[in-house]
Structure 1
Amino acid sequence: MGERDPDHDGIISIFDSTPLPADSCPPGQYLWDLHCVDASPGHYVPYYGMTEEFPCPEGTYNPDTGRNSCYDTTPGHYTNSTGSITQTDCPPGTYQPDYGQTSCLDVDRGHYSNAGSSSGIPCAPGTHQPDTGQPSCLDADPGHYVSETGQFDQTQCSPGTYQPVPGQTSCFSASEGHYAPGFGSAGQFACESGTYSPSTGLDSCHPADPGYYVTGSGAIEQVACPTGSHQPTPASIGCSLVNPGYYAPAPGTAFEIPCPAGTYQPDSGTDHCIDADIGHHASGPGNFNQSPCDPGTYASEGGTGDCLAADPGYNVPDSGASSQTACEAGGHQPDSGAPTCLDNEIGHYTDQTGTAEQIPCSPGTYQSSIGQTACIEADFGFHVPYSGSAGQIPCSPGTYQSSTGQVSCTDAESGYFVSEHEASVPSACERGTYQLEGGQTECVDADPGYYVPSMGSPFQTPCERGTYQTSGGQHECIETEPGYYVSTSAALSPTACSPGTYQDSTAMMSCKEADVDHYVAESAAAGQSKCADGDSQPERGQTSCIEADNMMLIMGGAAALAVIALTVMYKNSQKQKPAPKQRRKKRPPEGKQRRRRPPKGKRRKRPPSSD
């Protein structure tokens, strides 16, 4: 503001009652009504020429006047407002380690403090403090302890220890015969009846073991049950006698011991069991008497828990037996523990004693009765195909059996047959019959055209050429008669020689042609006929002869026909062909004219007469 505020007090001179500055006041004083005035307690003036005093800030104080500064609060003190004349002690439970502070700090857990403390004080052993800002520590409760300084929590006495007094640094171990249960016990307790404590520092008493007992309280040991008695329950105050069928052989038996198999005991309170007699058993455990072995079982020694079952092949008919009996031959027993043996069933046998399983008759044998020691062989003409058969089976038609003890029948061989049951041999097919297949009940007649010459033939034979057979079931073929022939095998009938042929022998395969100058006029001829005198026959196999005149006519006519044929052929050869180029036939040279000859074979000499 310059010239308008010469005393620089922030007030324009026209409004300032003292517009001109007074003489400057030293630090610790300030100008007031043109006079220098000392700073009052709780205040200070820091510089020359000040016109007002200032309150001491928080964390400081000033008990004097005319001060140019304030005092910082000392450790253990504080000021929390301006213009403080004095510093304030930290209240109990707080502290302040530093200067010039406006507040105090709560002491930590496990510590405490008095008023004006500059630090927290650790709780002493036997005390603790779980909270902050506390003015004192707490004594440990009974059943608890604090062993070190500065603890914020107390420790429970561990199981087996106790502490009846508060504010302690340790716990006591429980005495013998006593216990301190769980954590934090304030006292120890005497062991109750049925329990004991043999050492110090136990958190519980031992229950008396099974087989032992404790009668009073505060006991330091347990007592064993005497022989013949027992105690299965722990923490018991007494023992019990063992029951019949049981025993207790030594002191301290927890559970009564059942008499093992093979022994028994009818009395109570004993320390032993009795062996079962021979022929008896005590199945056990815990038998109070013995029992005789049941039928089917036996005991050959004493002290048997279970009787032995009779072995397969054996039996025991009575009770209380000391041994088993073998089944006799012809009987058997497949099961164990049987009181009797079984007769063998039909189709079975046993040939020795003590047999467990009956033996089935082997194939080829049978047995029709029960309780047998052997099987019977199948008879001739019979067979037994399966094991365990009660009877034999007759051979069926078509089969036979020539031996005994056989498992099957034999098919009749080819050429044989069996027409009845129980055959021991096959029958041979008769002549004129045959059988190609085996196992047949009859033979087959030979077909017409075939024959079977011998017995037991497996096939039929076709009649050879020159023979035939019109009937079936024949053992031979028929030879052809003169005038007949058979050209193929297996013929049913002969064939008659046709006219022009003949056959003068038997069993022939073809006919003969009639010779030249001979003829055969009819079929089935046994011979040929000679042409009559003057007649002739130039050809073979003819049915007639040619008379002499007729022969000349025939030859003349044949010659005329030949001439006519040659003439026609010559004329045709002289005609020109309708072709672009005509070709002339070559003529033979002069004097070389071609001679005509009758066709070859048209002139034959008469064959000489057969006479």
Structure 2
Amino acid sequence: MTIKPSGRTRPLRSLRRSALSIAIVTALSQPVWARGDCPAGAFDEEILRDRYQQSAVFAPLDCILAQPGFYVPSAGQSRQLPAAPGYYVSTSGAISQTPADPGHFVSMPAATTQTEAPPGRFVAQEAQSAAQDCSVGRFAPASGLTRCDDALPGRFVAQTGQSAALECAAGRFAAASGQSACDEALPGRFVPGPGQTTAQDCTVGRFAASAGQSVCDLAPPGRFVALPGQAQPEDCAPGRFSAAAAQSACDAALPGRFVPQPGQSAAQDCAPGRFTAASGQSACILAEPGRFIPEPGQTVAQDCAVGRFAASAGQSSCDLAPPGRFVALTGQVAAQACQIGSFAANAGQSACDLAPPGRFVAQLGQSSALDCTPGRFTAQSGQSSCNSAEPGRFVAQSGQSFAQDCAPGRFTANFAQSACEEALPGRFVPQPGQTTAQNCAVGRFAANSGQSSCDLAPPGRFVAAMGQSQATLCSIGSFQASSGQSRCNAAPPGRFVALTGQSSAQACEVGRFAAASGQSRCDAAPPGRFVAQLGQTTAFDCAAGRYAPESAMSECLLADVDHFVPVPGQSSQTPCAPGFFQPQPGQTECIAEPPRPTQNEGS
């Protein structure tokens, strides 16, 4: 049996499928072993051997060399073993697997090579299946390393598996090696550039309020820093200031100036109304009431002039006496109010004016006189109130000095009226200056307000009560022929009034009658009766021989020929009975027909 190298790596399943190509081809110069004698590094597959022993064509079988990535540790094996993770086999016919070197690893079985640990990772021992990340504070700059380097002072590594250390940023530092983060410069200290191993104190006049600053801040104007390494500047005290930045001391305010609050960059002039006599002052002195200081930086106050006053301390000018008040002397702290009945329209007055007629001033300290309101008046000046217009009189406008009488048709019942009331409909006022309106008498009315007399009720109308605003129409069946009446007359019998508001009654037409008074229509004569003239109070029966077949007839009809009407008041005629006749109209009975002659009598 010969050992045949595999030529390329294949799984055993493929070898079975291509058994004819890998079986015995030619042994030639290869050594031959007996069945089951394959040496270490080679193997024969028992299934193949059994299959080909049944064939007379092929004999003997070859041993197969272990492929790269596989090995056969001893002789007489029927299969090859894959290299385990952490190991590899780089050649054919291997009898053992090779451990991965330190700095290398093999992650999969049946590997033919080992892999270098990548930058940022390391392998410290042989036969490893994976590389490890460098821990924080350490790094691996190249491939195939067996350990990680510490970050140098001034540098840091914040994450695992890094291939380089980073410089600490300005404002931060790393004093030791192997740091995973940089330390912030403490308040009062700074780190000016990257990659530093220590922080420095801020110099006088400078400060660092926050941790991690790369420069120190200048003490701003109004503040100072007297010592190095400070985290905050100090405010200049009241009365002192610093005009520039980075100062280590503050200046005192000069006389005439002041600094009211800490931390100021300049001194201020005392405002008008205030002054200072010494340096280093934090407040100015107020001018006394009644006095003033008109400009900044003054050391004395002046008295207020006549007509002016200063009520408060610290005024830069004196106030004019306001309208409604006056000031008679100099150096005053208040203005006086004008008395009632007087006023001051302008500022700075030394006396008050009297209210003129038609106007008044009711309160102290007024800047104007008020007009008397409508309904009131004043006849004299200097009045504190107005007079009310008496009943029967009025004042229509404001600011009047007298009251007027109400005109006819109008009146006022109360005092202080600005207008007179119109007499209501149904009432009247006949003369001026009246305090009440009168009711219209019966038969009269006033349709409008403000009438000075009442109107007569016209014909066809009446007014039954006093104080009416309209005349009432006479109802149907009644009339009124005269004006100024308090009632209507009923239509007499034989006459009627069909509409309201009539001044006369109408006679009933022929065929109709009115038996009673006050009728609004006439009654029709019933059938069998008639009315032959106008204005009748009753209907008459038709005479015998006559009849009236309908109502409202003005005459009766004669009974026709061969008809008769036997009694009065009939509405129909009666035909003559058989054997009777009537040759004349208008008859009350029929006549018996004469006997007819017989044949004997004729012959």
The equivalent of 1:408 in structure 2 is 470
The equivalent of 1:195 in structure 2 is 257
1:263 counterpart (317, 325, 330):
325
CA distance in 2, matches of 1:291, 1:554: 154
1:260 Cα deviation after fit: 6.0
Whether 1:469 aligns to 2:517 is no
Please say if residues 450 and 477 of structure 1, whose CA atoms lie closer than 8 Å, have aligned partners that are also in contact.
Answer: yes
Matches of residues 171-570 of structure 1 in structure 2 within 5 Å? 177-181=239-243, 183-185=245-247, 188-192=250-254, 194-197=256-259, 202-205=264-267, 208=270, 211-214=273-276, 218-219=280-281, 221-230=283-292, 239=301, 241-242=303-304, 245-253=307-315, 256=318, 259=321, 262-282=324-344, 288-300=350-362, 302-304=364-366, 307=369, 309-333=371-395, 337-367=399-429, 369-419=431-481, 421-503=483-565, 505-511=567-573, 520-526=582-588, 528=589, 541=590, 543-547=591-595, 550=596, 552=598
1:408 Cα deviation after fit: 1.2
Distance 1:309 1:499, change over 3 A: same
1:406 Cα deviation after fit: 0.9
Distance 1:219 1:468, change over 3 A: same
1:201 Cα deviation after fit: 6.2
CA distance in 2, matches of 1:152, 1:161: 21
CA distance in 1, matches of 2:362, 2:400: 17
Please say if residues 469 and 493 of structure 1, whose CA atoms lie closer than 8 Å, have aligned partners that are also in contact.
Answer: yes
Distance 1:147 1:466, change over 3 A: closer
Distance 1:175 1:392, change over 3 A: closer
CA distance in 2, matches of 1:148, 1:429: 121
CA distance in 2, matches of 1:503, 1:108: 152
CA distance in 2, matches of 1:108, 1:499: 155
With the length of structure 1 as denominator, give the TM-score of the two structures: 0.57
Distance 1:210 1:389, change over 3 A: farther
> Aligned AA for 2:270?
A
CA distance in 1, matches of 2:545, 2:353: 115
> Aligned AA for 1:376?
Q
> Aligned AA for 1:491?
M
> Aligned AA for 2:511?
G
Q: Which digits, 9 at most, give the CA deviation of each residue in 1:225-282, with x for residues without a partner? A: 0221235887766655546554223433467456466432244531122231231124
CA distance in 2, matches of 1:161, 1:513: 150
Distance 1:185 1:287, change over 3 A: farther
1:544 Cα deviation after fit: 4.9
1:460 Cα deviation after fit: 0.7
Distance 1:423 1:186, change over 3 A: same
1:440 Cα deviation after fit: 1.9
Q: Which digits, 9 at most, give the CA deviation of each residue in 1:305-341, with x for residues without a partner? A: 5545535432123331133111022112365554443
The equivalent of 1:569 in structure 2 is none
> Aligned AA for 1:277?
Q
CA distance in 2, matches of 1:146, 1:459: 123
CA distance in 1, matches of 2:341, 2:200: 86
CA distance in 2, matches of 1:324, 1:379: 40
> Aligned AA for 2:529?
T
Please say if residues 214 and 238 of structure 1, whose CA atoms lie closer than 8 Å, have aligned partners that are also in contact.
Answer: no
CA distance in 1, matches of 2:232, 2:488: 124
Which stretch shows the higher mean deviation, 190-199 or 512-521? 512-521
Distance 1:475 1:138, change over 3 A: closer
The equivalent of 1:590 in structure 2 is none
CA distance in 1, matches of 2:569, 2:212: 156
The equivalent of 1:608 in structure 2 is none
With the length of structure 2 as denominator, give the TM-score of the two structures: 0.58
1:216 Cα deviation after fit: 6.6
1:349 Cα deviation after fit: 0.8
Distance 1:551 1:242, change over 3 A: farther
> Aligned AA for 2:449?
S
Q: Which digits, 9 at most, give the CA deviation of each residue in 1:197-220, with x for residues without a partner? A: 478765433553664223676545
The equivalent of 1:26 in structure 2 is none
Q: Which digits, 9 at most, give the CA deviation of each residue in 1:73-120, with x for residues without a partner? A: xxxxxxxxxxxxxxxxxxxxx999xxxxxxxx99997999xxxxxxxx
Distance 1:252 1:506, change over 3 A: same
Instruction: Specify the structure having the higher radius of gyration (Cα).
Output: 1
Please say if residues 193 and 237 of structure 1, whose CA atoms lie closer than 8 Å, have aligned partners that are also in contact.
Answer: no
CA distance in 2, matches of 1:191, 1:314: 68
CA distance in 2, matches of 1:143, 1:155: 9
SS of the aligned residue for 1:440 comes to coil
Please say if residues 213 and 239 of structure 1, whose CA atoms lie closer than 8 Å, have aligned partners that are also in contact.
Answer: no
Distance 1:511 1:488, change over 3 A: same
Distance 1:463 1:132, change over 3 A: closer
> Aligned AA for 2:497?
Q
Which stretch shows the higher mean deviation, 340-349 or 432-441? 340-349
Please say if residues 247 and 269 of structure 1, whose CA atoms lie closer than 8 Å, have aligned partners that are also in contact.
Answer: yes
Which stretch shows the higher mean deviation, 435-444 or 217-226? 217-226
Distance 1:197 1:465, change over 3 A: closer
Distance 1:234 1:336, change over 3 A: farther
Percentage identity across paired residues of the two chains: 20
The equivalent of 1:160 in structure 2 is 222
The equivalent of 2:118 in structure 1 is none
> Aligned AA for 2:521?
F
Q: Give the number of aligned pairs.
A: 436
CA distance in 1, matches of 2:511, 2:210: 143
SS of the aligned residue for 1:546 comes to coil
1:304 Cα deviation after fit: 4.4
CA distance in 1, matches of 2:479, 2:433: 40
Please say if residues 349 and 361 of structure 1, whose CA atoms lie closer than 8 Å, have aligned partners that are also in contact.
Answer: yes
1:148 Cα deviation after fit: 13
Distance 1:249 1:467, change over 3 A: same
> Aligned AA for 1:374?
T
SS of the aligned residue for 2:593 comes to coil
1:409 Cα deviation after fit: 0.8
